[in-house]
């Protein structure tokens, strides 16, 4: 199937911390990145983040430490259901802002490296 997006995406789980300002107060939180490209990412968090909010993201290894500025595009309520609990979380779509060439290259290299490793593992399972 042909990729119709501007940027190649990688489904991966990475830890992320974020900060943002409300008036003069700095708020922070944690999220899990589920989908990553050199243009932005999708993450889940326990906190609703207002669209157009500017975040300072700190993406942890293996991609990081990588600090980037980003803008929230949207934030949607989702649910995670376990045997005992129904937990609320938010799916948040993020666009990177003013990403330097070196940071963009770092993300692209990480995506291609992960895809190559997954391809090798798949071929190995198939006996090639």
* Domain boundary assignment for the chain: 10-125
Of 48, 39, 88, 90, the C-alpha closest to 68 is 39
Mean per-residue pLDDT, 106-126? 87
How far apart CA 117 and CA 48 sit, in angstroms, is 34
- Which homologous superfamily is 10-125 in? predicted glycosyltransferase like domains (2.40.10.220)
What pLDDT, on a 0 to 100 scale, did the predictor assign at position 1?
46
What pLDDT, on a 0 to 100 scale, did the predictor assign at position 7?
60
Mean per-residue pLDDT, 85-112? 91
How far apart CA 34 and CA 92 sit, in angstroms, is 10
Which of 10-24, 44-58, 112-126 is predicted with the least confidence, judged by mean pLDDT?
Answer: 112-126
State the chain's mean pLDDT as an integer.
88
């Amino acid at each position: 199937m042909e990729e119709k997006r501007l940027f190649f995406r990688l489904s991966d789980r990475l830890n992320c911390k974020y900060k943002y300002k409300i008036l003069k107060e700095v708020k922070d939180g944690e999220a899990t990145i589920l989908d990553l490209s050199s243009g932005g990412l999708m993450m889940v968090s326990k906190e609703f983040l207002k669209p157009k909010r500017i975040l300072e993201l700190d993406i942890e290894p293996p991609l990081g430490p990588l600090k980037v500025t980003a803008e929230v595009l949207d934030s949607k309520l989702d649910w995670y259901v376990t045997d005992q609990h129904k937990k609320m979380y938010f799916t948040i779509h993020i666009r990177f802002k003013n990403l330097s060439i070196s940071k963009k290259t770092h993300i692209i290299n990480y995506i291609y490296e992960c895809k190559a490793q997954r391809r090798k593992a798949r071929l190995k399972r198939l006996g090639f």
